[in-house]
Structure 1
């Protein structure tokens, strides 16, 4: 706040006359000394020990070329308590985006983590599955984006500006091919025939 005053120096013993007052800052004035605003920054969010989701796969460590391999994550909501300037700050984080890398050059971004399906449905397409076109060993990767919110001394939760991207441990898969052959031989009659012994 600025107060404008005028003094008539031509008149001996004249008093200051107030003309007007105005605010130097538009809108809300700055906090008074001693008023501290507690907030959680993106840097602080990224420094939290956020646990990355574990990767799961069906049918398992081995899969078949051309069939849908169900890859999924198992995330968990997490919370942390930290101290900022003597104030208790609770931070809750939640997984909101999943960046998949299937190990063969293919990638996908989803808002869902996927999940396991019954064995009878193995090979079906899911929101996070992938069909490999070549045989060989691949390494599946995942980076999960977490958003956060914080509460100071038990107050209302407020969003944290920014996100934290947390990589999961990669998962090794071996892609195999399958062959189907029909045999008309009777192995009892011809024990050395194709498909016998």
Structure 2
């Protein structure tokens, strides 16, 4: 952050912001220079008892389009409280660590459903689909209240037989039972029999705000995986039998006879 202007940016070398705006904060009742709005001071937000028990300062957040010559600062949000003895050092510190914190959040990757399940047939299309939702978290970083929103944006399917599909934006969807076996965006046909562990990895895009300040994008994405879903793949055989099960009870096709998988 530039202490003279209040502007802040991510210090990570080579990082590119996806936010079209830039932000700065001003004291809630500050008119510029050494002047303050007397009426505003009478109803100024009280910033006491912060996350670490310290007092903060009431601020208003402003924004303007990034990289636009002559762009004017305009009201964005607030008033809200900023808790830090040196707020000019606070936001870059949080920006530098927010991606790591995001990856360590207990974000639920979602659930996986297979149709049919838990058994399917070799060579037939098995429809897989996911259910994942936006999630919100409140954490503390450097003594500041940070609100994080995680939104699912991409999905990668590992079907357990060496086939991986994604990352791509479709989570798939359910089919009515009379349409099971149809090819879908996220379906898969297994070429061999056996038990396979299907794992979905969901990529989440995040935003964060500090002390109810403006939402800012979290660089990159966080990847989170589901617990494996076991799918048993069987083969289907059609045979004509001439044996009499009364005389040959263990013959192929007779009740109780071994089933070939």
**Structure 1 residues 157 and 180, CA gap change in structure 2 (3 angstroms):** same
> Of 213, 237, 243, which aligns to 1:155?
213
Indicate the RMSD between aligned Cα atoms, in angstroms.
2.5
Whole-Å Cα distance in 2 between the matches of residues 174 and 195 of structure 1?
22
**Structure 1 residues 155 and 30, CA gap change in structure 2 (3 angstroms):** closer
Could you say which residue in structure 2 is the equivalent of 1:116? 174
Could you say which residue in structure 2 is the equivalent of 1:95? 152
Could you say which residue in structure 1 is the equivalent of 2:19? none
- Structure having the larger proportion of residues in helix: 2
Whole-Å Cα distance in 1 between the matches of residues 118 and 253 of structure 2?
27
Could you say which residue in structure 2 is the equivalent of 1:63? 120
Whole-Å Cα distance in 2 between the matches of residues 101 and 191 of structure 1?
44
1:179 deviates by 2.1
63-72 vs 35-44, greater mean Cα deviation:
35-44
Cα deviations by residue, 1:100-137 (Å, 9 ceiling, x for unpaired):
11111111002111122111111111111100111111
1:145 deviates by 1.3
Whole-Å Cα distance in 1 between the matches of residues 157 and 254 of structure 2?
43
1:162 deviates by 2.0
> Of 194, 202, 209, which aligns to 1:144?
202
Greater RCO (Cα-Cα under 8 Å, separation 6 or more): 1
Could you say which residue in structure 1 is the equivalent of 2:164? 107
Whole-Å Cα distance in 2 between the matches of residues 137 and 177 of structure 1?
12
List runs of 5+ in structure 2 lacking aligned partners. 5-84, 256-261
Whole-Å Cα distance in 2 between the matches of residues 196 and 90 of structure 1?
64
1:146 deviates by 1.1
Match of 2:101, SS?
Answer: helix
Whole-Å Cα distance in 2 between the matches of residues 105 and 35 of structure 1?
50
Could you say which residue in structure 1 is the equivalent of 2:2? 30
Match of 2:87, SS?
Answer: coil
Match of 1:154, SS?
Answer: coil
Could you say which residue in structure 2 is the equivalent of 1:51? 108
List runs of 5+ in structure 1 lacking aligned partners. 1-28
Matching of residue 165 in structure 1 with residue 223 in structure 2: yes
Whole-Å Cα distance in 2 between the matches of residues 85 and 139 of structure 1?
41
Whole-Å Cα distance in 2 between the matches of residues 75 and 125 of structure 1?
22
Whole-Å Cα distance in 2 between the matches of residues 42 and 89 of structure 1?
13
Matching of residue 73 in structure 1 with residue 45 in structure 2: no
1:66 deviates by 1.0
Whole-Å Cα distance in 1 between the matches of residues 217 and 183 of structure 2?
35
